[in-house]
């Protein structure tokens, strides 16, 4: 019975570990599929706009990356399930072997019991003892022998149950693997189509590369101006130093930090089309850009929302760059850039998810882009780490 218990504990631990890995991959796959769905919606919105080739390229580039990630996740899931299938096959073979051994042992016990089925034989065995002590030991032995037979029956039943469950589990995993393989083939096919579509767009954009490079340089100048303005504000602001915060501001600062990875998105929907740090430009791959935040592509007329309780400390207007709103959360600062409309003013207290304005709608485009940053004093942080899934 002890061996069966150890078997059950081992199988339970491996099943939990496998389930946790599978659940995590499934969560990631669902998240990617949602992002692909948003990318499809945004691409649909740009479909009839002839002048938005770059816009389409940016979204399509992100979609291709998401699809590649999805195929990779499916590969991982298939590998995990294949390992589980192999483990189940080995476990079933081992259980069958143990079951045969126990059945064989039990068969011998039954044979011995059959030979000694006559109660008179048992009484003769007991009363033929040399003394009382030996007779007692023989009675005890008969009881233990009977108990052992019962345990063997229970063991056989338990092993049969575990074996049947593993066989059912194995069949389910095989079905799951087949389903994942079909998904993988479908996603691979879609990925190939999207890469072809992307390559066609690249050919169209090659003609305009010089013009696009000029646009990239202009955007870099604006980004540098924004960076200087933010650093200037932080340097001049005495209250972005933790030691100079009010008790209430210290609480907000601590609460903001505790919510890392759980902050709401600054737009209701959207996809990150340019990540944090040094990145390949989504259109001109030979160009590297330094991004102090993330660029979120969303629908036109989208609302911009505050990501956490705070105070509006600055509304900037940089020439050619539309509005920028700075919101202070203790020693933290959230930055919302490229707003076409602002409905808050300096000094306003704002709440989490409160609308502070609308994203700027560039003429001739059917999607809009919000640039979002997070700072901790003079340290620039990766916003994607702070935002929830």
153: pLDDT confidence band, cut at 50, 70 and 90?
A: low
Domain boundaries, the chain: 2-206, 219-386
pLDDT score of 50: 46
- Average pLDDT of the residues in 298-303: 89
pLDDT digits (tens, 9 = 90+) for 59-93: 878 888 888 888 888 888 888 878 877 877 777 77
**Which CATH architecture describes the domain 219-386?**
Distorted Sandwich (2.70)
* Torsion sign across C-alpha atoms 95, 97, 103, 105: negative
pLDDT score of 147: 67
pLDDT score of 357: 94
DSSP string for 200-267: HHHHHHHTTHHHHHHHHHHHHHHHHHHHHHHHHHHHH-GGGSGGGS-HHHHHHHHHHHHTTTTBPPSS
User: Strand, helix or coil at 364?
Assistant: coil
CB 370 within 8 A of CB 336: yes
- Average pLDDT of the residues in 13-26: 64
pLDDT score of 51: 45
- Average pLDDT of the residues in 239-262: 83
pLDDT score of 208: 61
Can you give the pTM of this predicted structure? Answer: 0.64
pLDDT score of 342: 94
Residue 285, pLDDT > 70, answer no
How far apart CA 276 and CA 289 sit, in angstroms, is: 10
pLDDT digits (tens, 9 = 90+) for 333-371: 999 999 999 999 999 999 999 999 999 888 777 778 899
Between 206 and 282, the more confident residue is 282
User: For the ranges 9-18, 194-203, 232-241, 250-259, which has the lowest average pLDDT?
Assistant: 9-18
Beta bridge partners of 271: 297
């Amino acid at each position: 019975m002890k061996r069966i218990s150890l078997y059950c504990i081992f199988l339970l631990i491996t099943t939990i570990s496998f389930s946790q890995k599978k659940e995590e991959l499934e969560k990631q796959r669902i998240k990617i599929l949602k992002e692909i769905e948003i990318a499809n919606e945004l691409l649909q919105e740009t479909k009839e706009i002839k002048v938005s080739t770059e816009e389409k390229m940016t979204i399509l580039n992100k979609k291709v990356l998401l699809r590649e990630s999805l195929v990779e996740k499916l590969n991982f899931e298939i590998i995990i399930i294949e390992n589980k299938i192999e483990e189940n096959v080995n476990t079933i073979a081992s259980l069958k072997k143990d079951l045969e051994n126990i059945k064989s042992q039990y068969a011998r016990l039954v044979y011995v019991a059959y030979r000694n089925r006559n109660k008179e034989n048992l009484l003769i065995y007991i009363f033929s003892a040399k003394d009382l002590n030996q007779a007692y030991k023989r009675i005890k032995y008969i009881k233990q022998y009977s108990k052992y037979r019962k345990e063997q029956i229970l063991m056989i039943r338990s092993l049969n149950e575990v074996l049947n469950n593993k066989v059912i589990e194995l069949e389910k995993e095989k079905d799951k693997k087949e389903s994942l393989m079909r998904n993988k083939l479908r996603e691979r096919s879609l990925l190939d189509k999207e890469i072809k579509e992307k390559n066609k767009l690249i050919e169209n954009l090659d003609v305009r590369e010089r013009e696009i490079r000029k646009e990239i340089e202009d955007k870099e100048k604006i980004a540098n101006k924004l960076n200087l303005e933010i650093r200037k504000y932080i340097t001049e602001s005495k209250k972005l130093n933790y030691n100079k915060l009010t008790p209430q501001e210290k609480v907000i600062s601590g609460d903001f930090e505790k919510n890392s990875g759980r902050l709401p998105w600054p737009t209701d929907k959207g996809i990150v089309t340019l990540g944090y740090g040094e990145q390949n430009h989504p259109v001109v791959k030979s160009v590297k850009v330094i991004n102090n935040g993330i660029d979120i592509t969303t629908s036109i007329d989208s609302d911009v929302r505050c990501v956490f309780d705070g105070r509006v400390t600055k509304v900037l207007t940089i020439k050619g760059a539309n509005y920028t709103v700075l919101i202070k959360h203790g020693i933290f600062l959230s930055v919302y850039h490229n707003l076409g409309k602002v409905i808050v003013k300096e000094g306003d207290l704002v709440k989490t998810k409160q609308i502070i304005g609308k994203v700027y709608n560039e003429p001739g485009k059917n999607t809009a882009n919000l640039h979002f940053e997070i700072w901790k004093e003079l340290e620039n942080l990766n916003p994607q780490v702070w935002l929830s899934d």
